[in-house]
Amino acid sequence: MTMPPRTRPFVQVDVFSTRPYQGNPVAVVLDGVDLTDEEMQLVARWTNLSETTFVVAPTLGGADYRLRIFTPDGELPFAGHPTLGSARAWLDGGGVPRHADRIVQECGAGLVTVRRGEGVLSFAAPPLVRDGALDEGYVEQIAGAFGIGRERVLAHQWVDNGPGWAVVRLATAEEVLALEPDLSRIPDAMVGAIGAYPEGSPYDFEMRTFAPRCGVPEDPACGSMNAGVGLWLTSTGAAPAAYRVSQGARVGRAATIEVGADADGTVWVSGATTVCIRGTITV
């Protein structure tokens, strides 16, 4: 049964940039209690951001809250920048975690730990639901959509932690930035491209992520993709245990994502979070 509309706390948080409005925004409804799936989807379509989240009561033991994550086209079991942005919004709104040094989020992917550091939040990469190399036909399809020859794809992998991500690795960051994808050729894809910067650069890699399946042509900064790629690159030795990613330049942003692997293989994705809008929404 649909409840009468009421006023709820609402914030927008900029994630993965120390300069406000240069990262990736997420809209957060801090009280999603009694909203239907259809109402949540309606709001997410209206905000028209890559993700809109709704904080509701947890159902799993040990969780501080449960997060529902919606794109303009549907719900996701997990997403990275909404995890960090929603944790910041929850803390900013007076949320008190069970443990002073960490927040435990429940979402469709299960329990996700968010660490509280000096000026940044970090989430532990959830396990992959699909990994391994892509089918060759799909690699050729991606290369064609990216407007590049197949030979320029040095490596490829499923890095799916819920949204359905696949990634291709190109030789250089410059090649990644130069891509002019025709997403009409891969309308159901959730795919990224990563390439290395020269040694001594401020960043180790440039990342771009494209999500036509979710109605998001290019995501300014993608935590879930970087989490999956981080598990792949650090476990294979293709990247050091700690590295820095730049993302968003082609859509006018300047995001910085820090990726680091613990000795036990846990990968953490870190970034700045800034509450830019505080107010209410009537739903």
- Alpha-carbon distance values, 191 to 123, 142, 214, 268 (Å): 21, 8, 11, 21
Is 108 in contact with 254 (CB distance < 8 Å)? no
Is 40 in contact with 47 (CB distance < 8 Å)? no
CA atoms 254, 107, 5, 43: torsion sign: positive
- Going by the DSSP 8-state scheme, the letter that residue 273 receives in this structure is E
CA atoms 176, 182, 185, 190: torsion sign: positive
Supply the residues annotated as catalytic: 51
Q: Which helix (H) or strand (E) holds 183?
A: none
- Going by the DSSP 8-state scheme, the letter that residue 184 receives in this structure is G
Cα(184)–Cα(194) distance, integer angstroms: 21
